[in-house]
Amino acid sequence: MIGSIKGLVSVTILAFAGPSLLAQEIVHAIAGTIARIDPANSSITLQLPDKRTVSFDFRPHVSAPISFDKTLRDESAMASGLPKEANHVIVYYYGLSPAIAVSVKDLGKEIEELTGTIVGVSESNRTITAQSETGRQDTCYVSNQTTVETAYGAVDGTKYSPRIGEKVNEVCNYDAGKEVAQFIQPQSD
């Protein structure tokens, strides 16, 4: 009898909580160069480092419940809030067709992009060193303002555990004389 009551309570809880849990959209991130902003159609197009382009619809008032890291949300803005000279950005989005942009982060004018393998990790300094196929190495600081794209959505850098040998795409810029990782995307093997 008690077992069937517990089962009934569990089913009832899932019946009410399930739809809201299942309907939550996970926010992902991608970094690129602004190719076009179309205010008339509320869209933005990015050119990626491999020269592909990807477009996003902007929805200033998202009606779907979203899972978006609070730190990253606080560090980003709507496309209308971007400075006119913005060039390199991270777009935070959900969905695929259409992809819906919920906010963007301006990365500034001077960035360094590197695709390579992590060859060094300093947990005490919160840095990673990645080496490209040509042998170029970059050491970047990773902080809560670093966006890391994972299979489970975009998270801040303090939630990332880099591994030596891991392949990554990274975008860094200089802040107060230090190279700071702005975007990291681990590559699947």
**DSSP result, 66-81:** EE--HHHHHT-B-GGG
Read off the pLDDT of residues 89-117 as tens digits, 9 standing for 90 and up: 999 999 887 898 888 998 988 888 999 99
CATH number, domain 25-106, options 2.40.50.320, 3.40.50.2300, 2.60.40.1180, 2.102.10.10 = 2.40.50.320
Q: Do domains 25-106 and 112-186 have the same CATH topology?
A: yes
Architecture per CATH, domain 112-186, reads as Beta Barrel (2.40)
Q: Which amino acid, residue 188?
A: S
SS3 at position 36: strand
pLDDT at 60: 62
Q: How far apart are CA 32 and CA 101, in angstroms?
A: 14
What predicted TM-score, i.e. pTM, was given to this entire model?
A: 0.82
Q: What are phi and psi of 21, to 5 degrees?
A: -70, -40
**Sequence spans of domains, the chain:** 25-106, 112-186
Q: How far is CA 167 from the centre of its chain?
A: 17
